[in-house]
Amino acid sequence: MMKSIFIPNKYNYLIWGNALFLLVLLLLELADPISVVFAYFLETIIIGVFHCVKLWMVNTYGKSSKATAKMPTSSIGLIVFFIFHYGMFVAIQSIFLFSFFENELSQLKDGFHLIHNYGVILRLEGMPILIASLVVSNLKYFYTNFWKNDQFKEYSPSGLFFRPYVRIFIQQFTVILAGFFFILLSEGFAAAVLLILFRLIVDLIILGIHRDSNNMDKLLRKITKTEAEYLEAKEKFQEFSE
């Protein structure tokens, strides 16, 4: 089971490739270590953009939401509602993160100066190529695990709406953890490398949960006692893959 998840193979080669690409950028000094940290944070917005596309596809071709679900019925209304909801979530995280790194990056103002601070991090060394690499990896993940296999037909809008929040919570935890490394370690390079390696492990596990259902089923069968517990646990685990 562990071998199929963590060893490079035809399913996870892009995740490995992206991690190695970021490490090469660091080694060749084509990207600043703190740029890597903020690039992973900006991936939150990239994921949100792809989720808007997912919501449109599910609202158009997927299952209907339950009558009790208080969601807009039109695709435009649903996407606008998500942008507002998700945008508030990202804004709060941004305030916290900018405040956290204010002393590490002198150009940053206090956390509430969002427009100025976003302008600062977008101009960091190597940021355009870092963002491009994350867009490519998310595009591949979207195509392989949502579009190509018709996964969008299995969701309802209400069932999909909150799915990225679990993944984002894990992602932001890794970024904050890297922030502590920046503060505790005298060398930002080491902190960036640790962040890349930690994210690599997390991404491989997320992909393994989504793709390798047989291994996940075996594990869940062992740790659950009843069929109802198994089905509930399986649904919860799959939330990590969206």
Question: What residues contact 192, with CB distance under 8 A and at least 6 apart?
Answer: 26, 33, 34, 36, 37, 178
d(CA 144, CA 13): 13
**Which tens digit of pLDDT belongs to each residue from 31-86?**
888 899 899 889 999 999 999 999 999 999 988 877 556 777 888 999 999 999 99
pTM, whole model, 2 decimals? 0.84
- pLDDT mean over 126-138: 92
Question: What is residue 68's predicted lDDT score, i.e. its pLDDT?
Answer: 56
d(CA 178, CA 196): 9
Max Cα-Cα span within the chain:
56
Q: Which two tokens stand for residue 47?
A: 């994921």
d(CA 78, CA 159): 13
Asked whether 36 and 130 are in contact (CB, 8 A), the reply is yes
CA distances from 84 to 77, 87, 91 (A): 11, 5, 10
d(CA 180, CA 192): 11
d(CA 193, CA 208): 23
Task: Write the DSSP symbol of residue 231.
Answer: H
Q: Which of the residue ranges 129-143, 149-163, 191-205 has the most confident prediction, judged by mean pLDDT?
A: 129-143
**Which tens digit of pLDDT belongs to each residue from 2-42?**
566 788 887 788 889 999 999 999 999 888 888 998 998 89
